[in-house]
């Protein structure tokens, strides 16, 4: 056997932690009740408050940067030439 | 077999679709019978200005969203970009120009149990570029409303034309796949993860832009396919006393070897009952595409001097102020808003051939708008 002892121990630890986490799933309950979500409902906590404005900002960036996507903002195609 | 009438075809399709979706909807709905809320009715009227690097793009934009029944919300939007272009690409290789881009959008949101289904179409039109996009998004609340899972797909088809050359006519096809999870962490903190894969096939450059090979200008040559992936993580927290903050990070990579990091942090705060202020800082950096060259030392199959594909970073500082103009509880709310962002772009391997130095510029983004919920 040429398995490295450190790697083997790490693997065993990962499996044990995985089992513990999965075991927890069985009794996992929503821990923030609906009546505790008052702060989260405030406009200040919205990721995106005004869709048109977000879309414009996103368009400005997509036209100038190489990266795109995963912004949570829906945009159409654009003439970026 | 006799030809089926459109009505019968619709009935058959509806039945088949219902049979397919019913178990899925049941599975997704879980034990909860609570309906998800439709987005609230709202209208936004915006005037936007971008000015930087010799380009000015401005215009109005409008959006109206109206709930027409208990379960359906309709959206219509219009967006105009009036562009006056004297960018470095244009002034060094062609003549400055002006053009207008019109974009129309329509959407429908449908709420069923704990799911929100959104269908959208958009059409963008400018003299040398037309674009049509259709999309479907489904978001599902689960785990007692603490977790929202969203899936989306868009399909786009563009037509690329060239001013002054009627023989030039090409296309781009686009596929976008989205997956997002938003999680309530505590009564004050939210987190989300978004992933998006985009694939494009067609003419993915500009018919006007030139590349440089041995110091000579040649038309740029881009691959006809590009696939990208982006993963974004966000957290938002209520800090108490009507203060909130957010932080986000996005990693992007694609088959052209562009790799980009985006980091943003922001702070929001109410002043009294009527004012809400936001401030943010955003840093973006990317590594150039495999075939990007400021001045190629050899002839290669693909070559581009598109600075959007170069190595650069940018730093943006932004602020936004919202003022509640009129508020009639239970009826409507009217807000006046202003947002401004100053962005500094620093290019590492894109030379300003007028000066011989690395190119950099500053841009201003201004948004003035009125938003109403009713």
Residue B15 above 80 pLDDT?
no
Cα gap B229→B216, rounded to integer Å: 34
Q: Are strands B97-112 and B115-126 parallel, antiparallel or unpaired?
A: antiparallel
Q: List the end-to-end C-alpha distance of chain A, in Å, as a whole number.
A: 59
Question: pLDDT over 90 for what percent of chain B?
Answer: 80
| Reported pTM | 0.85
pLDDT of residue B71: 79
The residue ranges of DSSP E strands in B241-287, in sequence order, are 243-254, 259-271, 275-287
Q: How many CB atoms lie within 10 A of CB B264?
A: 18
Centroid of chain to Cα B108: 18
The highest-confidence range among A41-55, B10-24, B293-307, by mean pLDDT, is: B293-307
pLDDT of residue A74: 55
- Torsion region of B242: left, alpha or beta (phi above 0 gives left; psi -120 to 50 gives alpha): left
Cα–Cα distance measured from residue B30 to residue B38, given in angstroms and rounded to the nearest whole number:
19
Indicate yes or no: CB of A52 within 8 angstroms of CB of B276: no
Q: Is B120 helix (H, G, I), strand (E, B) or coil?
A: strand
Distance from CA of B227 to the nearest CA of A (A): 11
Contacts of B276 in chain A (CB under 8 A): 43-44
Distance from the B326 Cα atom to the nearest Cα atom in chain A, whole angstroms: 16
pLDDT > 80? residue B290: yes
CB of B312 closer than 8 Å to CB of B350: yes
- At B357, list the tokens: 């130095």
Neighbours of B52 (CB within 10 A): 19
What digits encode the pLDDT tens for the residues B163-202?
A: 889 999 999 999 999 999 999 999 999 999 999 999 999 9
Q: Name the B residues in 226-245 with CB < 8 Å from any A CB.
A: 228-232, 234, 236, 238, 242, 244
The mean pLDDT value for B253-275 works out to 97
The yes-or-no verdict on residue B34 having pLDDT over 50 is no
Scanning A37-76 for CB atoms below 8 A from B yields 37-40, 42-45, 47, 50-53, 55-57, 59-61, 63-72, 74, 76
ipTM: 0.87
pLDDT at B23: 41
Q: What pLDDT sits at residue A13? A: 72
- Averaged pLDDT, A41-54: 90
Which residue in A43, A50, A74 is closest to B44 by CB distance? A50
Provide long-range contacts, Cβ within 8 A and 24+ apart, for B25-30: B25/B112, B25/B113, B25/B115, B28/B113, B28/B114, B28/B115, B28/B140, B28/B142, B29/B113, B29/B114, B29/B115, B30/B114, B30/B142
- Does residue B237 surpass a pLDDT of 90? yes
Q: What is the pLDDT of residues B321-337, one digit of tens each?
A: 999 999 999 899 999 99
**DSSP helix/strand/coil, A48:** coil
* Cross-chain residue pair B105–A76, CB shorter than 8 Å: yes
The string of pLDDT tens digits covering residues B67-109 is: 998 779 999 999 999 999 888 888 887 778 889 999 999 999 9
Element (H, E) at B10: helix B6-29
Helix (H) or strand (E) holding A67: none
């Amino acid at each position: 056997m040429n398995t490295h002892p450190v790697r083997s121990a790490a693997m065993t630890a990962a499996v044990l932690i995985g089992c513990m986490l999965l075991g927890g799933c069985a009794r996992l309950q929503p821990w923030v009740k609906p009546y505790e979500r008052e702060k989260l409902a405030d406009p200040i906590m919205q990721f995106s408050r005004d869709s048109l404005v977000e879309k414009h900002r996103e368009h400005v960036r997509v036209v100038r940067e190489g990266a795109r996507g995963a912004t949570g903002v829906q945009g159409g195609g654009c003439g970026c030439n | 077999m006799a030809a089926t009438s459109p009505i019968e075809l619709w009935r058959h399709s509806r039945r088949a679709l219902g049979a397919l979706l019913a178990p899925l909807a049941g599975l997704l709905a879980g034990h909860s019978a609570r309906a998800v809320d439709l987005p609230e009715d709202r209208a936004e009227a915006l005037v936007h200005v971008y000015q930087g690097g010799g380009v000015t793009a401005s215009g109005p934009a409008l959006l109206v969203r109206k709930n027409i029944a208990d379960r359906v919300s309709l959206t219509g939007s219009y967006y105009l970009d009036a562009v006056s272009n004297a960018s470095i690409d244009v002034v060094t290789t062609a003549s400055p120009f002006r053009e207008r881009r019109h974009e129309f959008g329509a959407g429908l949101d449908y709420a069923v149990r704990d799911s929100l289904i959104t269908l959208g179409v958009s059409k963008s039109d400018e003299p040398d570029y037309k674009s049509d996009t259709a999309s479907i998004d489904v978001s599902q609340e689960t785990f007692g409303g603490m977790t929202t899972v969203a899936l989306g797909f868009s399909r786009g088809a563009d037509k690329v034309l060239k001013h002054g050359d009627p023989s030039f006519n090409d296309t781009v096809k686009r596929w976008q796949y989205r997956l997002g999870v938003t999680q309530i962490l505590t009564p004050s903190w939210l987190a989300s993860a978004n992933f998006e894969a985009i694939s494009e096939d067609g003419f993915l450059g500009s018919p006007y832009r030139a590349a440089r090979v041995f110091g000579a200008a040649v038309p740029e040559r881009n691959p006809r396919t590009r696939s990208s992936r982006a993963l974004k993580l966000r957290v938002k927290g209520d800090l108490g006393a009507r203060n909130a903050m957010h932080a986000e990070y996005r990693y992007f990579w694609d088959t052209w070897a562009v790799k980009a990091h985006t980091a943003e942090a922001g702070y929001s705060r109410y002043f009294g009952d009527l004012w809400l202020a936001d401030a943010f800082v955003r840093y973006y950096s990317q590594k150039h595409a495999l075939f990007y060259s400021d001045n190629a030392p050899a002839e290669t199959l693909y070559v581009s001097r598109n600075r959007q594909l170069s190595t650069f970073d940018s730093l943006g500082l932004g602020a936004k102020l919202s003022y509640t103009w009129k508020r009639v509880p239970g009826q409507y709310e009217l807000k006046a808003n202003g947002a401004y962002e100053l962005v500094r772009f620093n290019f590492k391997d894109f030379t300003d051939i007028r000066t011989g130095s690395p190119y950099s510029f500053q841009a201003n983004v201004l948004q003035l708008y009125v938003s109403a919920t009713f």
